[in-house]
Chain A
Amino acid sequence: MVIDTLKCVGCSDCVVACQTENNVPVGYCRDWVTESVSGTYPNIELELKSERCNHCDNAPCVRCCPTGASHVAEGGIVLVTPNECIGCGACIESCPYDARFQHPDGYVDKCTFCHHRLEKGQLPACVSVCPTKCMYFGDLEDPTSEVSQLLKSRKHKVLAPEAGTKPNVYYLT
């Protein structure tokens, strides 16, 4: 996934779309929007980011899961199988992005990149509702895809690269 921080206006539509699409319980969220301000007045910079699970290549949550409930599905998406999850919380502790939470039903829940929509050929709910079209979704391994082209032509970053997780959500800056 690629997100253009220069186009994002911080409306939080992505958050509401996700909660509606995935029946996220009230008070919980699988994605969230942050506003970071840096510099001193009058030289201030503002950056808005829609954040979620980074579906890391080197996912610590998958490594530490004692039952294998956390796994990497086809296409590199990190998913949790609720019926294998014992709710030990190890994956929540292991995530440097705090992207996971305990669902009120007990199992651990998080962003799935709207796996069920991808199977039907649709985009994730957050991507499809974004009013400024600042989010892009596609195959990073395919050099001709829109996301790969964007990463080739624009300056970008990932969150907490020093954590060594090899995240797959990129931010254009």
Chain B
Amino acid sequence: MEEEIFISGRNIPHIDPILEVWHFPISLYLFLGGMAAGIIFFASLFTIMRKEKEVPTAVKGGMIVAVIAISIGLLALLYDLTHILYVWQLYMTVRIESPMSWGAWVLLIVTIISVLWVFSYSTEIFPKWDWKFDFLKKFQAYLIENRRIMAMILLPLSVILGIYTGILLSAFNARPLWNNAILGPLFLTSGLSTGAAAIILFSKNHFEKTLFTKIDLALIILELGLIIHMLMGMYAGSAVQLEALDILMGGEFTVMFFVFVVILGLIFPAMLEGVELMGFKVPSIVPALLILMGGLIFRMVMIEAGQITRYLY
């Protein structure tokens, strides 16, 4: 038996007895950023394929949702910084070793281009809106002409935006639950799936709804596979990883993870979508909302549970 205690009275806020430096705003950002990355990915993919007329919600309403989601996510990120007046220091340097550094740059570029994208569609979405000034109208015409170029820039950047949050967490080897290489692809898949769900939620076009239901179903199956892959990888891991796994398998977060994320957030909506694709009538809002909820709870579980896991020495 071994027991270790602090005898000098250590009780640092947010660190002792369990680490709690990252709170709900971070989970919210991971979810919103992933979802926005998904929407932007589909919008730019269909634009590059010249099929944007077939997916009107993805390229118009969906992109507005993406811009709003990124903005809320950014505010959440800023809210969780403790030395916020120095936030400009993020953009004084690029550090390849730090996923947060290049992620912040990608986030900035994606946000700017997405706002321009929505601006280029603004007159189509709100036909009565008038941009008054001539130079704005000229700029808009220029953007409309170059929409495919915007899409070509956004497509790879949206993949990076979706995957970097997972890479960021997996780069912390001090937190064994996060420290597995599959977390990046898993977060990307989850982001694409929640993005597709958001498009289904706002779409009124039957063809578009069916198309994204198919895409979403495939992504959910892939995501379930990646989750099994992650759990199996940890089962085969070292002592610290096995201990970290206990939190998800038979520990504090088991119900949150398996009931709310795996069953209610993935398996059940996947079944509903499958039934819908077979021709039965299912209100598509139900699986879409469940997937979005599952995505958010997944990030919350990973952030909170991950911070509890640590090296014991």
* Cβ-defined contact, A35 with B21, below 8 A: no
By a CB distance below 8 angstroms, the chain A residues around B307 are 93
Per the bound structure, the CA–CA distance linking A87 and B4 in Å amounts to 30
Say yes or no: A66-B100 contact (C-beta < 8 A), given A12-B7, A92-B15.
yes
Say yes or no: A86-B86 contact (C-beta < 8 A), given A12-B7, A29-B12.
yes
Choose among B80, B86, B307 the residue with the greatest number of A CB atoms under 10 Å from its CB.
B86
Q: Mark A54-93, 1 if CB is under 8 A from B, else 0.
A: 0000001001111111000000000000111111111011
By a CB distance below 8 angstroms, the chain A residues around B85 are 106
Number of A-B contacts (CB under 8 A): 153
With an 8 Å Cβ cutoff, the count of chain B residues facing the other chain is: 50
* Cβ-defined contact, B99 with A162, below 8 A: no
By a CB distance below 8 angstroms, the chain B residues around A93 are 19, 21-22, 172, 174-175, 307
Chain B 36-88 residues near chain A, CB threshold 8 A: 80-87
Say yes or no: A87-B6 contact (C-beta < 8 A), given A93-B172, A96-B311.
no
CB distance from B156 to the nearest CB of A (A): 21
* Cβ-defined contact, B172 with A64, below 8 A: yes
Chain A: interface size category: 35 or more
Query: Which of B90-98, B190-198, B287-295 binds A?
Result: B90-98
* Cβ-defined contact, B172 with A94, below 8 A: yes
CB distance from A107 to the nearest CB of B (A): 5
By a CB distance below 8 angstroms, the chain A residues around B99 are 64
CB distance from A10 to the nearest CB of B (A): 5
A95 within 8 A of B: yes
- Give 22 pairs: A residue, B residue, CB < 8 Å, sorted on A: A27-B12, A32-B8, A33-B6, A33-B7, A33-B8, A34-B5, A35-B4, A35-B7, A36-B2, A38-B2, A39-B1, A48-B7, A60-B174, A67-B86, A84-B89, A85-B86, A86-B90, A94-B173, A95-B174, A102-B14, A105-B83, A106-B85
- Tell me the A residues contacting B by CB distance below 8 Å: 10, 12, 15, 27-29, 31-40, 48, 60, 63-69, 82-90, 92-96, 98, 101-102, 105-108, 159-160, 162-164
- Tell me the B residues contacting A by CB distance below 8 Å: 1-16, 19, 21-22, 80-87, 89-90, 92-93, 95, 97-101, 104, 168, 171-175, 238, 240, 307, 310-311, 313
Given contacts A35-B6, A64-B100, A67-B89, 18 further A-B contacts (CB under 8 A): A15-B8, A27-B13, A32-B6, A32-B8, A36-B4, A36-B5, A37-B2, A63-B171, A64-B98, A66-B98, A67-B92, A84-B86, A85-B89, A86-B83, A94-B171, A94-B172, A101-B12, A102-B14
